[in-house]
């Protein structure tokens, strides 16, 4: 399902507090971005116990119950988790992963808040959540009748919201500092094939594993953990970042010329991470128009060209990566590339040949 409008984690909480208390609500979003935990937080905020049911594991009788003979007639007895006396928050996770038969069993529960003769206690809340078809997750088309019984919101990842949450929940300082430096690495689209991918949940898992190892964590073990939790590219970048911290390399010192680029073959992952961070800083720090340069940006321009020249002597390939188009949503300003063509033509010539544009 495509989103016409999306909400961040904080915005979703406002929607839940004002809408979910009066109407059933469904949260769409890719896996690992915090849908379930936000519903748990909402239930705590409004003082309701949260009962979670996983749609992909349900059969119709798990909702409507089984029939019993009472006074000569049959009646359905809903399961204990649903048939409660006091108000509660019913969270139907992966609702769009259940079969159509199970979806039909939810019709009256969601629309009328009842199952057979049982009615949810006044003040109860019903919230559903699920992944999208494009997320390579287990999903089934949601019937129009079920769609029309709920208010639908689409959740997207907000790095600012996540960093605020991470700072309050003892996330590893390495993870926290890395995402502050590379906010674009917090989440990536789920791959079409079977491999780990980066999400707020996977970064949380990595943080827990790093903290459990403590100071005994070796580079080899770090590599196992990162590649077991993150997208391959992000895993390599994070490993280089940690190695940079351990070896006391600082990008600011390298840009200013106080430190040298790491040049040993065994430090290539650190060099690659620093070069990527260098590029990200140039994209962020240089204006689109040269006429808008202030003194600090003029100094950055001069230093950047000097550092690119030094980087090319160590690895022409990595230096080319800094100035080439990467499809990451960030582009170096055209005027800066013109100066690179003029002052460091070797970099651009090789890049153009590789692109087939020379």
Which residues partner with 51 through β-bridges? 90
Q: Is 207 a residue whose pLDDT tops 50? A: yes
For 62-118, the pLDDT digits (tens) are 777 777 777 777 676 778 888 899 999 999 999 888 888 888 888 888 888 888 778
Domain boundaries, the chain: 9-154, 171-355
- Residue 327's pLDDT is 60
Which one has a higher pLDDT value, 345 or 166? Answer: 166
- Residue 357's pLDDT is 41
pTM of the model: 0.72
What are the start-end ranges of the H helices in 135-194?
Answer: 144-147, 159-168, 173-181
What tokens does 170 get?
Answer: 């003892």
For 4-20, the pLDDT digits (tens) are 689 999 999 999 999 99
Cα distances from 228 to residues 196, 236, 280, in angstroms, run 6, 11, 25
Work out the average pLDDT over 295-316.
Answer: 93
| Distance from C-alpha of 102 to C-alpha of 120, rounded to nearest angstrom | 18
| Distance from C-alpha of 116 to C-alpha of 284, rounded to nearest angstrom | 59
| Distance from C-alpha of 343 to C-alpha of 305, rounded to nearest angstrom | 8
What tokens does 67 get?
Answer: 């029939």
- Residue 2's pLDDT is 63
For 139-193, the pLDDT digits (tens) are 888 888 889 999 999 999 999 999 999 999 999 999 998 999 899 999 998 888 8
CB of 269 closer than 8 Å to CB of 239: yes
9-154 in CATH: which number?
3.40.50.300
Tell me if residue 195 falls in helix, strand or coil: coil
Least-confidence region, from 38-42, 47-51, 116-120: 116-120
pLDDT grade for 358, boundaries at 50, 70 and 90: very low
Which one has a higher pLDDT value, 234 or 328? Answer: 234
Work out the average pLDDT over 51-55.
Answer: 89
């Amino acid at each position: 399902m495509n989103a016409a409008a999306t909400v961040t984690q904080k915005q979703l909480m406002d929607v839940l507090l004002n809408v979910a208390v009066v109407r059933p609500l469904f949260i769409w979003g890719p896996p690992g971005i915090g849908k379930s935990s936000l519903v748990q937080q909402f239930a705590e905020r409004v003082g309701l116990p949260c009962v979670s049911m996983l749609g992909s594991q349900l059969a119709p009788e798990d909702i409507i119950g089984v029939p019993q003979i009472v006074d000569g007639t049959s009646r359905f007895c809903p399961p204990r988790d649903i048939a409660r006396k006091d108000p509660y928050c019913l969270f139907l996770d992966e609702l769009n992963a259940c079969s159509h038969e199970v979806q039909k069993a939810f019709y009256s529960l969601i629309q009328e808040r009842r199952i057979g003769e049982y009615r949810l206690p006044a003040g109860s809340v019903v919230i559903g959540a699920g992944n999208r078809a494009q997320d390579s997750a287990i999903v089934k088309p949601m019937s129009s009748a079920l769609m029309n019984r709920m208010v639908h919101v689409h959740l997207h990842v907000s790095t600012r919201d996540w960093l605020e949450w991470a700072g309050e929940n003892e996330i590893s300082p390495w993870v926290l500092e890395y995402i502050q430096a590379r906010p674009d690495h917090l989440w990536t689209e789920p791959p079409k094939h079977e491999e780990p991918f980066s999400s707020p949940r996977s970064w949380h898992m990595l943080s827990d594993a790093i903290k459990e190892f403590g100071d005994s964590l070796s580079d080899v073990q770090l590599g196992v953990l990162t590649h077991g939790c993150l997208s391959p590219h992000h895993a390599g970048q994070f490993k280089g970042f940690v190695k940079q911290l351990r070896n006391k390399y600082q990008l600011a010192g390298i840009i200013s010329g106080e430190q040298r680029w790491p040049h040993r073959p065994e430090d290539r992952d650190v060099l690659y991470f620093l070069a990527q961070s260098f590029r990200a800083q140039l994209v962020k720090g240089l204006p689109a128009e040269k006429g808008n340069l202030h003194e600090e940006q003029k100094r950055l321009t001069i230093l950047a060209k000097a550092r690119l020249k030094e980087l090319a002597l160590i690895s022409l390939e990595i230096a080319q990566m800094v100035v080439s188009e990467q499809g990451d949503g960030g582009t170096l300003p055209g005027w800066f590339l013109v100066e690179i063509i003029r002052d460091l033509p070797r970099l651009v010539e090789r890049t153009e040949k590789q692109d087939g544009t020379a």
